[in-house]
Chains A and B, each alone.
Chain A
Amino acid sequence: MVALPALAQRRLARTELRQAGEGYSFALPFLLPFLVFTILPLAFGVLVSFTNWSIIGAPQWVGLHNYISALSNPLVRQAFLNTLRYVVLVVPVVTLLGLVFALYVNQRWPGHLFARVSFYASNVVSAPVIGLVWVWMLDAQFGIINHYLHTSIPWLTSTNWSWIGVSIATVWWDTGLIFVLFLAGLQEINGEILEAAKIDGAGPWRSLRRIVLPLLRRTFVLAITLEMISTFQIFSQVNVMTAGGPANSSASAMQYLYSAGIGQLQLGYASAIGVMLFVLTVIGTMIFRLLFRDKRW
């Protein structure tokens, strides 16, 4: 920093103070509820993870006991495994479908307005709708999916298929948002570039691969990041569709946290699982971002 004469320094300090005052007073209506209703409970939650609190009585410090106990509990490991399975299945499928739908709608062929509404509409409704509708559609005996596929797969009642059933419903729910993000990204692309490529003789696949996809890179990163975070925390539809069953086969980490913590009052234990899920989410997101480094973020 350049050494300023004393008067200028004082003026700078006053300006800084004034701006800090302005900044924080503008941000206060947000920061106050944010700290009180989000950060503070979160900090307390992290603290509780090192205790064995059951609401009644004071929490007792147990150090890392909850973490060790959770990691050695096969049900918890299963829940985390399920969560990873959800991420690995849902995120690529949603991204791919979102992109394909956006490419289609962007062509502005006849009926594209209908398609645009249809692809996004499913994202607008809430978890119980997803749960109730897909439980019905995936019913092993009378469900419409099995009817048209001519099978009798017990989508939500088999330990092998339950997480796949939940994933199908999740894909239907989440794709709409990713679709819109890609659509916006596509519409930012200058049509003249594509025209020039066509004149140069590039076919549609070529121009897709060489021009469109690279230009969509930022959208890709945003879409996948959002969808990853959201899928790591998958809960509402799991709860409404299967409540984690059968036999914990579809339970996500969040669902297990809910049933152990809120259902059985093992709050220390549940908080430990929550902290571990957070760490997992951060690691997962960071790995993805490292692989797709983009300085313009």
Chain B
Amino acid sequence: MVRVLPGRRRRRLAWFPGWLIGMLAAILWAAPFLWMLSTSFKPTAQILTNNIHWLPQTFVLDNYRFVFRGPVSRWMLNSLITSFLGTLLGVMVGALAGYALARIQFRGRNAVFGLILASIMIPANLAVVPLYIAFLKIGLVNSYAAITLPLVANAVSVYIFRQFFLGLPDELEDAARIDGAGRWQMFIHVALPLARGPITASTIILFTANWNNYLWPLLITFSQNMYTLPVGVAQYSSASGNYTQINIYGPSMAAATLLCIPSLAIFLALQRYFIEGVARAGVKG
């Protein structure tokens, strides 16, 4: 997909202002992260001041110490476990359903897909409270299962796999069928090995979405120990959190940094796959 446009050198010189503006925009776009990081290491006096320094004049760890009074590592573990389980199941289940919707002609197939598409437009909060009451009634609260179960049926995953499998040439499966393969074998031996792209794409999209999931874990967890990381970090909000009096900006920046790090680290390590994956999902759609 790399298209090298000839004449780049000439273009660059003529469009230097464009390049400069673009680079400035890119740096500015990342600036909030830098400011967040910088603030997290500053003492209160240097935060609540109009004397702006991008680099802390004094490095302190007080803000992080404050945040770590809460069970942060437990929050991170909870997020890891629920995101991993939710993604694993969501991708597997999506692959199966996407394959069926794409390659098996069965009655009601279009209606099912239409329903799945429509579900993306439904406000999540509408289903949340009835679901919540139901979970409470059967006692399924404040546990990994409670957090993970609603994540499993992810419409985006189905969509990505369906779009991909639609594009598979029929000859491949026909060849397998002639060899006597049943549907399951066709799926495992023919379709799935080719599906590296959508598997990557949906893994990354689902993992990010599950990791960032906020409302459901907020409701379904009761004790601090079961919070996922976003829910725990949100406690440091001045609007809806628990600390409204003291200088919360330092600790809230420390908390935000901690929450960012896993997502950003995975993203930076795999950014090529991220971007290609999302792009592929978008293009094929």
Binding site for B on A (CB under 8 A): 16, 19-20, 22-24, 26-27, 29-34, 37-42, 44-46, 48, 55, 101, 104, 107-111, 114-122, 124-129, 131-137, 139, 141-142, 144, 147, 156, 172, 177, 180-181, 183-185, 187-188, 190-191, 194-195, 198, 219, 222-223, 229, 232-233, 235-236, 239-243, 245, 253-254, 257-258, 261-262, 267, 270-271, 274-275, 277-278, 281-282, 285
Q: Which residue of A lies closest to B36 (CB)?
A: A133
Residues of chain A with a CB closer than 8 A to B234's CB: 127-128, 131-132, 240
Residues of chain A with a CB closer than 8 A to B155's CB: 34
Residues of chain B with a CB closer than 8 A to A33's CB: 93, 149-150, 152-153
Residues of chain B with a CB closer than 8 A to A114's CB: 26
Main secondary structure of the interface of A (DSSP, over half): helix
Residues of chain A with a CB closer than 8 A to B259's CB: 125-126, 128-129
Main secondary structure of the interface of B (DSSP, over half): helix
The 6 A-B pairs of least Cβ separation, nearest first, read A184-B279, A23-B106, A126-B212, A274-B126, A26-B100, A30-B97
Knowing A26-B96, A30-B93, say if A137 contacts B119 (CB, 8 Å). no
Knowing A33-B149, A124-B263, A180-B282, say if A137 contacts B32 (CB, 8 Å). yes
Minimum CB–CB distance for B37 against chain A, Å = 10
Q: How many residues of B contact A (CB 8 A)?
A: 106
A180 & B153 in contact (Cβ 8 Å cutoff)? no
B144 within 8 A of A: no
Binding site for A on B (CB under 8 A): 1, 3-8, 11-12, 15, 18-19, 22-23, 25-27, 29-30, 32-33, 35-36, 39, 47-50, 52, 92-94, 96-97, 99-101, 104-109, 112, 115-116, 119-131, 133-134, 149-150, 152-153, 155, 158, 183, 187, 208, 211-215, 219, 229-231, 233-234, 236-240, 249, 252-253, 255-256, 259-260, 263-264, 267-268, 271, 274-275, 278-280, 282-283, 285
| Most B-side CB within 10 Å, residue of A107, A134, A198, A245 | A107
B264 & A124 in contact (Cβ 8 Å cutoff)? yes
Residues of chain B with a CB closer than 8 A to A229's CB: 120-121
A22 & B100 in contact (Cβ 8 Å cutoff)? yes
- In the complex, the number of residue pairs spanning A and B with C-beta atoms less than 8 Å apart equals 307
Of A20, A22, A275, the contact of B183 (CB 8 Å cutoff): A22
Residues of chain B with a CB closer than 8 A to A267's CB: 129
B107 & A118 in contact (Cβ 8 Å cutoff)? no
Q: How far is the CA of A131 from the CA of B248 in the complex (A)?
A: 13
Knowing A33-B93, A132-B236, A235-B215, say if A23 contacts B100 (CB, 8 Å). yes
Minimum CB–CB distance for A218 against chain B, Å = 9
Minimum CB–CB distance for B147 against chain A, Å = 12
Ordered by A's residue number, 27 sampled pairs between the chains whose C-beta atoms are within 8 Å are A19-B105, A27-B97, A33-B150, A33-B153, A45-B129, A107-B11, A109-B12, A115-B25, A121-B267, A122-B29, A122-B30, A127-B230, A128-B237, A129-B36, A132-B237, A132-B252, A132-B253, A135-B238, A136-B252, A147-B52, A172-B29, A180-B282, A191-B3, A191-B5, A236-B214, A245-B239, A278-B122
